[in-house]
Structure 1
Amino acid sequence: MSKNKQNSGRMPSSKGMDMASVYSVQECECKAKQIVFSKDNRLIIEEFIHIRDMKGKFAEHDVPMPNKLMMFGPPGTGKTLTAFYLAGRLGLPLIVVRLDSIINAHLGETGSNVRKIFEYAKSAPCILFVDEFDALARTRDTNDEVKEMARVVNTLLQCIDEFQGDSILMAATNLENELDHAIWRRFDTKLVYEAPDESSRLEYIDLIIGSFHKEDGIQERATRMLAGCSYADIEQILLKAKRKAIVDDLVLSQQLIESSIQEYRPVHLRIEDQALGGSSA
């Protein structure tokens, strides 16, 4: 797919900060070199890309193109990396929203900021990515605090409805059950993320280790050792083990990975330790 022009105009700002960070197609391609999808998510992503290449045929049949993707699942499972991957594949710049500059103590300003960043993203083809989407799209309820936030949700709904054309909206959340139902319905494509299974761990570990000097069979052993870890955990543990190998002029070994696991303490192991501690109290 051909490269597109950059968005026109200056990035809107709030609190003295730009509301988003912009990544070029080349930066996105570089960041997404090491990504592993589940079988289901791979099919959904590939179909989405294929459909985007059939714009003329969809227009001929008066069928709207999909342009809104919702990703949900635990932290570290590849949601953000998917945004970089899709931007690279489609040849579109990626605009990553900065919630710290969007959200304002004065909710009227938050709604105005939401509208400004959506208008900016519509000015030229791009992918607009909002992580921790629940911070803006939390369900409207009856308590006073959420009543105030309902105005922001209403603005967000209007912006999503008006988000047409060649740009794409991607959102990610770890708290899908807290999203407003009206928001949820407006996304035409949904992807579920989970901790990697054994085959996905092996594929990802092989990518991370690459050509690094290593013990024979270490990928398979690491796959078993890192069961329960997210992709982010696996990357950090293996990078820590690689650093140890470089410092001591060693090959990447099971011992170094075990040591790195103990130092990094991935979340699922901390939870297990707390459970064991609670049971013995």
Structure 2
Amino acid sequence: MTTKKNIRLPKSKGIETATVYTPDECLKKIKHIVLQENNQQIVEEFITIQNMKQKFEEAEVSIPNKIVMFGPPGTGKTLTAYYLASRLELPLIVVRLDAIIHSHLGETGSNIRKIFEFAKLAPCVLFLDEFDAIARARDSIDEVKEMARVVNTLLQCLDEFHSNSTFMAATNLEEELDTAVWRRFDTRMTYELPGRAELDVFLTKLLGVSQEKRKLIEQSKELLQGCSFADIEQIILKAKRKMIIEDSEMSYDKIAHGYAAYNPRTLPRDAAPVGAIS
């Protein structure tokens, strides 16, 4: 069994280029995850294929191992990486952009190659958030020559990435990715702000399933429409803190207070969130 102790990550500037999470640690982080139906289907099919590798290889059908996730902040992209690592029972390797991006000529590309080579040798889920930082369209970059080299290195690494590991990338700025990078991914997942169905499931996970909580959830859905999952979690957390301080029950007033205190950037009150389910 692979443990943190025997995972030796490549280093840059004297620090490790990634952070390691065991499958058990990943499991603890995903207790409130809610995937929209289409993304849940994509993940389940991906896992099914990973468990049928021999059949796919015998049929000479390629096995997907590169996933790109895009959509607004706080909609579950990072949690999906934890979720997949937990389900596949593999360590999650979260790349540190502050470690791999270097001011010296050629160092960034070298660090990218090192982390991909590591993932090819040690089965894992390799996750890179804010992917646009190294995959930006080559014709839109000021430092064209150096950053173009970085993108070229990335493309080579993606082309050569045939292993028992999975590479996952997330971005909020999908329109800024180089078109050649898009073509290297065999699986694409689109994330949207939660609609009413996702709000219901998520609030149930956060608040509970009693009859009283059901009434509270129904009251809160309209207020929280247009918020991301991350926003909602922070709002409910503030409400729970107030509940503890006052030694009282959860109420709509506390959630409304949490909303006002957190002040999330939401859609206009008269607009439905993207992907809303009526």
- Per-residue CA shift, 1:86-128, capped at 9, x if unaligned? 0000111000000011101124100111011111111111000
Match of 2:276 in 1: none
Match of 1:268 in 2: 266
Matches within 5 A, 1:40-51: 40-51=38-49
Match of 2:82 in 1: 84
> Normalized against structure 1, the TM-score is what?
0.91
After TM superposition, give the deviation of residue 213 of structure 1 in Å: 11
After TM superposition, give the deviation of residue 5 of structure 1 in Å: 3.0
In the alignment, is residue 164 of structure 1 matched against residue 162 of structure 2? Answer: yes
Does structure 2 conserve the Cα–Cα contact (< 8 Å) formed by 1:214 and 1:253? no
After TM superposition, give the deviation of residue 29 of structure 1 in Å: 1.1
> Normalized against structure 2, the TM-score is what?
0.92
**Structure 2 Cα separation of the partners of residues 118 and 213 of structure 1:** 50
Aligned with residue 5 of structure 1, among 2, 6, 11: 2
Matched to 1:34, the amino acid is: H
Does structure 2 conserve the Cα–Cα contact (< 8 Å) formed by 1:213 and 1:251? no
Match of 2:252 in 1: 254
After TM superposition, give the deviation of residue 210 of structure 1 in Å: 2.9
After TM superposition, give the deviation of residue 45 of structure 1 in Å: 0.8
Matches within 5 A, 1:5-154: 5-6=2-3, 10-141=8-139, 144-154=142-152
After TM superposition, give the deviation of residue 6 of structure 1 in Å: 4.8
- Per-residue CA shift, 1:152-206, capped at 9, x if unaligned? 0011111111111100000000000110111110000000000000010110011
Runs of 4+ in 1 over 6 A off after TM superposition: 211-214
After superposition, the Cα gap between the structure-2 partners of 1:200 and 1:142, relative to the gap in structure 1 and judged at 3 Å, is closer
The DSSP-based 3-state class of the residue aligned with 2:68 is strand
Tell me the number of residue pairs that the alignment of Structure 1 and Structure 2 aligns: 268
- Per-residue CA shift, 1:1-43, capped at 9, x if unaligned? xxx5358662111122211000001011111121111111111
**Structure 2 Cα separation of the partners of residues 226 and 143 of structure 1:** 38
The DSSP-based 3-state class of the residue aligned with 2:180 is helix
Structure 2: where are the runs of 5+ without partners? 270-278
Match of 1:227 in 2: 225
Does structure 2 conserve the Cα–Cα contact (< 8 Å) formed by 1:111 and 1:155? yes
Structure 1: where are the runs of 5+ without partners? 273-281
Match of 2:153 in 1: 155
RMSD: 1.9
After superposition, the Cα gap between the structure-2 partners of 1:5 and 1:142, relative to the gap in structure 1 and judged at 3 Å, is closer
Matched to 2:256, the amino acid is: E
Does structure 2 conserve the Cα–Cα contact (< 8 Å) formed by 1:72 and 1:173? yes
**Structure 2 Cα separation of the partners of residues 144 and 34 of structure 1:** 40
After TM superposition, give the deviation of residue 144 of structure 1 in Å: 4.9
Comparing 140-149 with 219-228, greater Cα deviation is found at 140-149
In the alignment, is residue 199 of structure 1 matched against residue 197 of structure 2? Answer: yes
After TM superposition, give the deviation of residue 212 of structure 1 in Å: 9.2
Identical-pair percentage: 57
Does structure 2 conserve the Cα–Cα contact (< 8 Å) formed by 1:107 and 1:149? no
- Per-residue CA shift, 1:72-93, capped at 9, x if unaligned? 0000000000000000001110
**Structure 2 Cα separation of the partners of residues 78 and 144 of structure 1:** 31
Match of 2:274 in 1: none
